[in-house]
Amino acid sequence: MTVRFGKSIGGSTVPRRTFAGWGTTAAVVFLLVWLSALAQPQAPQVAPAHESIILVDGLPVELRFAQSLRGMVRRWWPKVEVDSRPGDRIRLVCSEDVKVNGFIVIAKGAIAQATVTDVSLPDPQDPEPETGLAIKVDWVKDVTGQQIPLRALPKGKPGPFILEVRSMKGGLVARPESLKRTMIDALSYKWMFTAWHAWTWAPAGTRITTFVEGNATLESKEVELAQQDLPGRNSDALLTIYRMKGSKDEHPGILCDGKPTAEIGPRQFLTLELAAGSHSCRVDKTTPVQLTLEAGEVRYLHLKSQPISGKWELQTVTAGEGEDSVAKAQH
């Protein structure tokens, strides 16, 4: 087991709405995506017995905006700047490998596309800022070069939706606006807290979860041949454990596979190179988190303390959330 230890650099955090700050964070995130993609796929595999591979309807595909997306902005009265117009094509990239039957069918870094369908000037009186943008996610390219149709919700028909951007769990997340969620937030006064995390635009690096529209069929032979063109797979997996908050005087000890690994302070992280297979990691004497890692896989664990008890625990997070958090810790 190889350990690489990282620590944040610098002092204060750049204000959340500073364009330059998010530009730096987006650059770090894309660097992490690129480096982890190089560490990914692909070992020789045996062709499946069947002749086709099915990407089932509703299969999740994690994407990131490869460019910033902004609609209308009032700079000064009555001047209104328009950055995006209906019909504009938006470039996105896949942020996590999508696997079916042990094969990568959509590779990390694959190109995806969305289309702007409507643009309006956000209401300055709205307590929860909006983007004023409506978009439609179109497609993502699979490993054979086909364009796989996408939609924005797990179920239902594809179509345009009002884009909502929120700062959550270490980074920015885009999602369709939901009337049901808005009503629940209003009744519970949750909007008073979420309003502070609302954005009027989507910077590069913003995450969005999309879903395959309809069953997509790929020829198994073409998928198998495409594996050879993917970046070479390491025999080990990479596991990053990071911490964002907590007392500076507390440095919880991490144990993986029963062996002491390191102590982590605020805004620090460590990266472990682990052999493919089953592993367990825990904080001091807490219940361990069980992990099954594949060769070349990149996984993340978040070290955080419980708000009431103050006890430390490890929580599994998505690759996108982990990448954003590690980038923010170094910012």
In this predicted model, what pLDDT tens digit does every residue of 126-156 receive, in sequence order?
Answer: 667 788 999 999 999 999 999 999 999 999 9
What is the predicted pLDDT for the residue at 307?
A: 79
- Cβ neighbours of 274 (radius 10 Å): 21
Average pLDDT of the segment spanning 318-325:
89
Phi, psi of 118 (to 5 degrees): -160, 150
Does pLDDT of 168 surpass 90? no
Does pLDDT of 47 surpass 60? no
pLDDT mean across residues, the chain: 81
What is the predicted pLDDT for the residue at 235?
A: 79
What is the predicted pLDDT for the residue at 46?
A: 47
What is the predicted pLDDT for the residue at 145?
A: 94
List, in sequence order, the alpha helices (H) in the chain: 19-38, 179-187, 191-194, 220-227, 319-329
**How many residues are listed for the chain in this entry?**
331
Residue 33 buriedness (CB in 10 A; 0-12 / 13-18 / 19+): buried
| Cβ atoms of 221 and 47 closer than 8 Å | yes
The domains found in the chain, sorted by start residue, are 1-40+231-331 (2.60.40.10), 45-227 (2.40.128.260)
Which residues, at least 6 apart from 319, have a Cβ–Cβ distance to it below 8 Å?
Answer: 36, 62, 95, 96, 298, 299, 300
What is the predicted pLDDT for the residue at 14?
A: 31
What is the predicted pLDDT for the residue at 160?
A: 96
Segment among 105-114, 140-149, 169-178, 217-226 with least mean pLDDT = 169-178
Portion of the chain with pLDDT greater than 70, in percent: 76
What is the predicted pLDDT for the residue at 73?
A: 77
Q: For residues 250 and 319, what is the distance between their CA atoms, to the nearest angstrom? A: 26
What is the predicted pLDDT for the residue at 44?
A: 44
Does pLDDT of 3 surpass 70? no
What is the predicted pLDDT for the residue at 20?
A: 41
Which residues, at least 6 apart from 87, have a Cβ–Cβ distance to it below 8 Å?
Answer: 115, 116
Bridge-based pairing of strands 89-94 and 79-82 is: unpaired
Portion of the chain with pLDDT greater than 90, in percent: 47
What is the predicted pLDDT for the residue at 127?
A: 63
Q: For residues 303 and 243, what is the distance between their CA atoms, to the nearest angstrom? A: 5
Q: Which of 13-27, 186-200, 308-322 has the highest mean pLDDT?
A: 308-322
Does pLDDT of 185 surpass 70? no
In this predicted model, what pLDDT tens digit does every residue of 200-235 receive, in sequence order?
Answer: 889 999 999 999 999 999 999 999 999 988 877 677
Q: For residues 57 and 135, what is the distance between their CA atoms, to the nearest angstrom? A: 21
The predicted model scores a pTM of 0.72
* pLDDT band for position 303 (cuts 50, 70, 90): very high
Does pLDDT of 43 surpass 70? no
What separation in angstroms does the CA of 104 have from each of 64, 183, 227, 229, 274? 18, 40, 7, 11, 21
| Token pair belonging to 45 | 């595999």
What is the predicted pLDDT for the residue at 33?
A: 54
| Cβ atoms of 163 and 134 closer than 8 Å | yes
Fill in the DSSP letter of residue 196.
G
Does pLDDT of 42 surpass 70? no
Does pLDDT of 57 surpass 60? yes
Higher pLDDT, 205 or 246: 205
In this predicted model, what pLDDT tens digit does every residue of 264-294 receive, in sequence order?
Answer: 999 899 999 999 999 999 998 888 999 999 8
Q: Tell how far CA 257 is from the center of its chain.
A: 27
* pLDDT band for position 48 (cuts 50, 70, 90): very low
